[in-house]
Amino acid sequence: MTDQLQSGSPKSVTADDVAAMAGVSRWTVARAFKKAGSISAKSRKRVMEAAETLGYVPDLSAASLGSDRSNLVALLVDDFDNPHKLVMLERLTRILREAGYGTLLVNMLGEKDAPEALLTASQRRVDAAVLIGTQFDEGIRRTALGARRVKKLIVFARMSPSPDTVSIGCDDVTAMEEVTRHVLARGYRRPMYLAGPDTESTRLFRKETFLRVWSAEHPGSVPAVIHARSYSLADGRDCALAFLRRLSRDTRPDVILCENDVLAMGAMDAIRADLKLRVPQDIAVTGFDDIPLAASPAYDLTTYRQPITEMAQALVRVLGTDGTAQGTILPGRFVIRGSA
Amino acid sequence: MTDQLQSGSPKSVTADDVAAMAGVSRWTVARAFKKAGSISAKSRKRVMEAAETLGYVPDLSAASLGSDRSNLVALLVDDFDNPHKLVMLERLTRILREAGYGTLLVNMLGEKDAPEALLTASQRRVDAAVLIGTQFDEGIRRTALGARRVKKLIVFARMSPSPDTVSIGCDDVTAMEEVTRHVLARGYRRPMYLAGPDTESTRLFRKETFLRVWSAEHPGSVPAVIHARSYSLADGRDCALAFLRRLSRDTRPDVILCENDVLAMGAMDAIRADLKLRVPQDIAVTGFDDIPLAASPAYDLTTYRQPITEMAQALVRVLGTDGTAQGTILPGRFVIRGSA
DNA sequence: GAAAATTCTGCACGCGGGTGCATCACAGTT
DNA sequence: AACTGTGATGCACCCGCGTGCAGAATTTTC
């Protein structure tokens, strides 16, 4: 029993073995495994039975050598601090697998690492490289041009302006309009915006939309905007605290709109644990993403849920498209809870 | 620019192209790319320069066809509800990549799906399949025996009794002894244990260790043990609430030890939001894993950190071992915060 | 019932590179 | 100057399957 796993069968079973057993040629075996293969029902049955008893499964890495598609997509992630990434990974791996794709998970260690990360993906002949909520894409795009094996570059949960990448994301503009209107309707007067790192490559329109809608309603008033060093709980807390601590009761904001839930939770930690204030009575907070913990009574965060499932389905559609595919922008859902 | 990505170069550059440019044979090119290749410094330099200008990178899926190793490992995950998985994925993908391995992320949708999940992995000729904190492994082990292409089956962050799998995990026994002693030292008298699903295949020794240590100190007293339906925030909360709600101030536990942080947070939500009690004054709570949010003041959870980095390094070592490798049990670190 | 239109089926060749061995060049020996 | 040992290099063959096409087996048509 012990070594069955190691040396159960010296060589793995190939299409030839199945062909021999079924009394057909290797190519007929291959046809039996393609849904569109022109093959008689009889021999397909024979082949499938032989494959079953032999435990044969086609070798995809060999298959991708001959054909020009591997049914493999690389998921490039650069920020594992955000629990929302786990939601995305779950949905993407599930839906991609159901559509017949394998997923290669590549950890981008930093901006300088991006080209190499893409390279390792291209070495596996991926059908597409998907940047998941990545902050930088311009440099990556250029290396993608170099790595000829990357056939498609897809930006997921972000909007890329590059003409040769496909973006699939949530409709940030509509979303943030809704959030801002809600904040306006609740009568808040001194808003503040807590954004992520202030890099020009960030392609979110949340901040801009908020400022636009707010200013339209309150001409002349310019909300404060601060940028956290990273999208992490600790940085969100530090950043919010550093800003709020210097303000008096009258000058401090009465609502903080945050670029995502993690920053929002950090801000809530600062407000409650550090400043000993209450949410939402003293300062209200909104987030973005609706990560699982946002629903916990410990935060009870008003936030906006991205349509991850629909976005993943759109991704599958793009993968199936041969030519130049269209990007997709999908509406999410505003989730009102107690924090604002 | 737009279509460079699509059709930049009709065919990708192969070792032959590099060989032609460097004036050597294809095999010399291959040697230049292996660290141990017997090749003269001069021709290696020529080859590398040619490869550089041509933008050549060896094709790993072709390489894995010829050799018997693919430098690819499959990560099988069945529970994306736990943020701790994200920590594991980050560490594993990082360290595996640094060691030259690619990672295939496979979402196991449920217990019945496990065999098929393993199959899809084996179709890519993975060097190993790693079960990450998976609840079931016995059934999987059997299918692994069937799927001859899976050369190694590794159980990560769990202990599997199967002789033909390699387990890499945290020393649960020592860990839980430490947690229990801490609880004892703090003078708690009516403990309760909140465990995950009660399946026999769960290979954690936390519950058993807690009961053993506690009973040794308090002979005769048998702590209550309840099982949540899943390792999710909501189930932890529901389960804890259902149990606690029926108890009076005198009979309810004064400390709840939870099998992981997510359950602990769920329990804290039940205690504070539902029962309007305080943590730790009314009921203390401990977790396990030390997920990032455990450090937030909103939970401030006393917990135990698994040595993920060391575990990932141990995994790399096992992958490099050709014969039957040894499992590894590593010590973690007890993290005392305010919740207990 | 024969000819024509359709399936089926088999095959040569290729994908990009690995393995093991045979060959070759060059340095050191006698 | 002929000889040997060692490292460098080239080559045949293989990995497991896809593609495109030609030949065989059916089915359809008149």
Here the CATH number for the domain that contains residue B225 is 3.40.50.2300
For residue B255, how many other CB atoms are within 10 A of its CB?
A: 24
Q: Tell me: do B272 and B186 sit in the same domain.
A: yes
Going by DSSP bridges, is the β-strand pair A333-335/A303-305 parallel, antiparallel, or unpaired? antiparallel
Given pLDDT bands bounded at 50, 70 and 90, which one contains residue A203? low
Report CA dihedral (A86, A89, A95, A99) to the nearest 10 degrees: -160
For A39-50, the pLDDT digits (tens) are: 888 888 888 888
A338 located within any domain: no
For B131-161, the pLDDT digits (tens) are: 998 876 677 777 766 656 688 889 999 888 7
User: What is the tally of structural domains in chain A?
Assistant: 3
Q: Tell me: do B220 and B277 sit in the same domain.
A: yes
Residue A338: is its pLDDT beyond 60?
yes
Q: Tell me: do A277 and A317 sit in the same domain.
A: no
B340 located within any domain: no
For A280-284, the CB contacts below 8 A with 24+ separation are A280/A255, A280/A338, A280/A339, A280/A340, A282/A254, A283/A244, A283/A252, A283/A253, A283/A254, A283/A255, A283/A256, A284/A183, A284/A186, A284/A188, A284/A254, A284/A255, A284/A256, A284/A339, A284/A340
Strand, coil or helix: what is B64?
A: helix
Is the CB of A67 within 7 Å of strand D?
yes
Tell me the two tokens of residue B339. 């919740």
| CATH number of the domain where residue B53 is located | 1.10.260.40
C-alpha distances out from residue A136 to A128, A131, A139, B82, Å: 17, 9, 7, 27
| A305: nearest Cα among A333, A324, A282, A338 | A333
Q: What is the pLDDT of residue A9?
A: 47
The integer distance in angstroms from the CA atom of A296 to the C1' atom of D20 is: 60
Flag if B3 and A151 touch (Cβ within 8 Å).
no
C-alpha B248/C-alpha B190 separation (Å) is 13
Q: Tell me: do A296 and A182 sit in the same domain.
A: yes
B253 located within any domain: yes
Q: Tell me: do A76 and A223 sit in the same domain.
A: no
Q: Respond yes or no on whether the N-terminal peptide bond of residue A280 is cis (omega within 30° of 0).
A: yes
Residue corresponding to tokens 């945290």: B170
Q: Tell me: do B314 and B301 sit in the same domain.
A: no
| B177: nearest Cα among B253, B257, B236, B255 | B257
User: What nucleotide is nearest A11 when CA is compared to C1'?
Assistant: D15
Q: Tell me: do A166 and A249 sit in the same domain.
A: no
Is the CB of A40 within 7 Å of strand C?
yes
Q: What is the pLDDT of residue B141?
A: 74
pLDDT in tens, chain B (340 residues): 333 344 344 467 888 888 888 888 888 888 888 877 678 778 888 888 888 888 888 999 999 988 888 999 999 998 898 999 999 999 999 999 999 999 999 999 877 888 888 888 989 999 999 999 887 667 777 776 665 668 888 999 988 878 888 999 999 999 999 999 999 999 999 999 999 988 755 567 899 999 999 999 999 888 999 999 999 999 999 999 999 999 999 999 999 999 999 999 999 999 999 999 999 999 999 999 999 999 999 999 999 999 999 999 999 999 988 767 788 999 999 999 999 8
Q: Which of A54, A93, A149 should we substitute to test contact with B (largest number of B Cβ atoms within 10 Å)?
A: A93
A64 located within any domain: no
- A120 CB neighbours in chain B (<8 A) are 97, 102
Q: Tell me: do A208 and A300 sit in the same domain.
A: yes
Q: What is the rounded end-to-end Cα distance, in angstroms, of chain A?
A: 60
Whether residue B184 lies within 8 A of chain A, CB to CB, comes out as no
Whether residue B327 lies within 8 A of chain A, CB to CB, comes out as no
- A263 CB neighbours in chain B (<8 A) are none
Whether residue B122 lies within 8 A of chain A, CB to CB, comes out as yes
C-alpha B117/C-alpha B131 separation (Å) is 11
Domain extent at residue A35: 3-58
Given pLDDT bands bounded at 50, 70 and 90, which one contains residue A337? very high
Nearest to A70 among B61, B163, B293 (CB): B61
C-alpha distances out from residue A147 to A75, A150, A280, A286, Å: 16, 6, 50, 41
| B82: nearest Cα among B264, B314, B284 | B264
For B32-47, the pLDDT digits (tens) are: 888 776 787 788 888 8
Q: Round the average pLDDT of chain A to a whole number and report it.
A: 89
C-alpha A173/C-alpha A180 separation (Å) is 10
pTM here is: 0.91
Q: Tell me: do B178 and B292 sit in the same domain.
A: yes
Flag if A106 and B93 touch (Cβ within 8 Å).
yes
pLDDT over 90, % of chain A: 61
A339 located within any domain: no
* Structural domain ending residue among the three candidates B58, B80, B100: B58
Nearest CA in chain A to B274: A297
Range list of β-strands (E), chain A: 72-77, 102-107, 128-132, 153-156, 166-170, 191-195, 224-227, 255-258, 284-286, 303-305, 328-330, 333-335
Rg of chain A taking only CA atoms, in angstroms: 25
Q: Tell me: do B95 and B135 sit in the same domain.
A: yes
Spatial CB neighbours of B43, under 8 Å, sequence gap ≥ 6: B22, B24, B28, B32
A191 located within any domain: yes
Q: Tell me: do A312 and A299 sit in the same domain.
A: no
Residue corresponding to tokens 């807690």: B210
